[in-house]
Amino acid sequence: MNFLIQAFAFIFDPKHYGTANGIEVRLGQHLLISFEVLVIAALIAIPVGYLIGHTGRGRAFAIGFSGGVRALPTLGFMILIALGVGIGLGAPIVALVVLAIPSILAGAYSGFEAVDRRTVDSARAMGMNELQIVAKVEVPLGLPLLIGGLRAASLQVIATATLADYVGGGGLGRFIFAGVQTQDYPQMLAGSILVIFLAIASEILFSIIQRLVVPAGVTAGRPKDVRVKSSRSRAALG
């Protein structure tokens, strides 16, 4: 437990703030990488997922892609890219985007699929065009599952962003890798604790959002647990 006390001492030591390698700087980097990755991955995965969900085509492709990414070791993939594009943020961002896409994709299309086909049918029969069906029926009703997908992706990305510093990407992983190099276990532990807190904070944040976005009126008719099961597979790399 001594180490644990030392780790917390490390976290609360004022010396570790206000410098270029300060905890708040690394924390900020970690959050920024994670946020950027989530935004990029969402911009790619949500439209594609919606397309799959609305048309019902390409589902096999999405499942295959997700399975492939699950087997792909992110560490190796990131390092390989880093050898190509050089050290820094580029390689971690590409690798993490690839990692994050399957969860968001699954959230997007399974959200559409969860909408009762009769509801869609009646919307069409009323005279909604395809775009209106997507915007007014499928998107709002599929939102809880999409947020579930984003939640899983966020957890994966925050966890795995720890590896970013291995190729010079900064973030909280810096304390872990610096600690490994200097055999400084309390520093490693401090970095680890910070990442764990961040991951849990993300879970809490998204569970609140998830509760907020359930369209009023469907709370009664829906199972409470709206996580995307299939995409929860590989959350915690890093």
Partner 1 sequence: MIEFRGVSKLFPDGTLAVDDFSLVIPSRKTTVFVGSSGSGKTTLLRMINRMVDTTSGTIEIDGQPTTALEAVALRRSIGYVMQNSGLLPHLRVVDNVATVPVLNGVPKKEAREAALVLLDTVGLDRSLAERYPSQLSGGQQQRVGVARGLAANPNILLMDEPFGAVDPIVRSELQVELIRLQRDLDKTIVFVTHDIDEAFLLGDQVVILEKGGVIAQVGSPTEILTAPANEFVATFIGAERGKRALSIQKTATGDILVDSEGRAAGVLVQQSEGVVR
Partner 2 sequence: MNWIVNNGDLIGQLVVAHLATAIPPIILSFFLSIPIGWFANRFQVSRGILLTVFALLYAIPSLPLFIVLPLIIGTGLRDPINVVIALTIYGIALMARSTADGLASVDPDVRQAATAVGYSARSSFWRVELPLAGPVLLAGIRVVAVSTISLTTVGAVLGIDSLGALFTDGYQRNIPSEILTGIVVTIALALAVDFLIVRIGRLLMPWSRIVGAGGGRSARRQRTAATA
Q: Which residues of the shown chain bind partner 1 in the complex (CB under 8 A)?
A: 116, 118-119, 121-129, 132, 136-137, 140-141, 215-218, 220-221
Residue for token digits 């690394």? 26
The encoded tokens of residue 207 equal 């569970």
Assess contact for 185 and 138: CB atoms under 8 A: no
Among 167, 169, 210, 228, binds partner 2 (CB under 8 A): 167
If the CB atoms of residues 24 and 121 are measured against partner 1, the closer one turns out to be 121
**Dihedral (CA of 202, 203, 207, 210) sign:** positive
If the CB atoms of residues 14 and 116 are measured against partner 2, the closer one turns out to be 116
Minimum distance of partner 1 from residue 14's CB (angstroms): 50
Q: Which of residues 3-62 bind partner 2 (CB under 8 A)?
A: 3-4, 56, 59
Assess contact for 54 and 112: CB atoms under 8 A: yes
If the CB atoms of residues 135 and 200 are measured against partner 2, the closer one turns out to be 200
Among 29, 34, 66, 103, binds partner 2 (CB under 8 A): 66
Binding partner selected for residue 232 from partner 1, partner 2, none, CB under the kind-specific 5 to 8 Å limit: partner 2
Among 48, 141, 153, 188, binds partner 2 (CB under 8 A): 188
Among 82, 96, 98, 150, binds partner 2 (CB under 8 A): 82
Minimum distance of partner 2 from residue 47's CB (angstroms): 19
Enumerate binding residues for partner 2 (CB under 8 A).
1, 3-4, 56, 59, 63, 66-68, 70-77, 79-80, 82-84, 113, 117-118, 121, 155, 158-160, 162-163, 166-167, 173, 176-177, 180, 185, 188-189, 191-193, 195-196, 199-200, 202-203, 227, 229-230, 232-238
